[in-house]
Amino acid sequence: MRGRNIETGEFLGESRSQQRREALDVLELAETLTGLADGQLAALPIPEELLPPLRDARRFKSHIAKKRQIAFLAKQMRRQDDDVLEAIRDALDAHSEGSKRQVADMHRAEEWRQRLLDGDDDALAAFIDIHPNADRQRLRQLVRNTKEEAARNKPPRAFRELFREIRAASASDGASTDQDADIADDDSSDA
């Protein structure tokens, strides 16, 4: 309810500006939902009554029709409880955090691969210290094969396999990513 309290002079309810901001937030959330893949949508706690307008918004190809359907979806979403929208936002945030973590793990593996290729046995020893279950002999062989491939201008088969081996060692050990980051930071500060 909007208006003023006659006795105290205070405004009742939210201002129109606040209502507009909240409506734009929901519209942005609706646009985000229409851009997600089917698997990502299935993992979100979306109420059944929002699924048909969401499917329609994803199906439309015409820019104007899609925009109109997204606005309709946002209108339907505003009718939901705040708890429902908050649950959807939390699930989206958790998904994006997981994606960021995966990207960080890939970058860390790439850094280790480059460090192993640039370095000598000290780099390999540092990696084995952090990941004791890693196969030292296999890693050494892959590093040697990668260097030979580069020298002969061959396709980077061992280069990719080294990356997979590093990722597998990191995942199987469950080693602290902080240790990996600290080691990589120490290496970059030495350079």
For residue 7, CA distances in Å to 37, 91, 108 come to 53, 43, 63
65 shares its domain with 126 = no
Give the three-state DSSP class for 46: coil
41 shares its domain with 120 = no
106 shares its domain with 183 = yes
Phi then psi dihedrals of residue 146, to 5 deg = -65, -40
Domain that holds residue 32: 3-80
Domain presence at residue 127: yes
Q: How many domains does the chain have?
A: 2
73 shares its domain with 113 = no
Note the pLDDT of residue 2. 58
52 shares its domain with 112 = no
Rounded mean pLDDT, 119-144: 88
| CATH number of 39's domain | 1.10.60.30
In percent, how much of the chain has pLDDT > 90?
46
Domain presence at residue 91: no
5 pLDDT higher than 50: yes
- Residue 61, exposed/middle/buried by CB under 10 A (0-12, 13-18, 19+)? exposed
Band of pLDDT at residue 51, cut at 50, 70 and 90: very high
Band of pLDDT at residue 186, cut at 50, 70 and 90: low
Ranking 61-70, 79-88, 118-127 by mean pLDDT, the lowest is 118-127
Ranking 9-13, 29-33, 174-178 by mean pLDDT, the lowest is 174-178
Domain presence at residue 172: yes
Note the pLDDT of residue 175. 47
Which helix H or strand E contains 79, and what residues bound it?
A: none
Domain termination site, one of 21, 50, 80: 80
pTM: 0.55
Residues 21 and 85: their CA atoms lie apart, in Å, by: 15
Residues 78 and 107: their CA atoms lie apart, in Å, by: 39
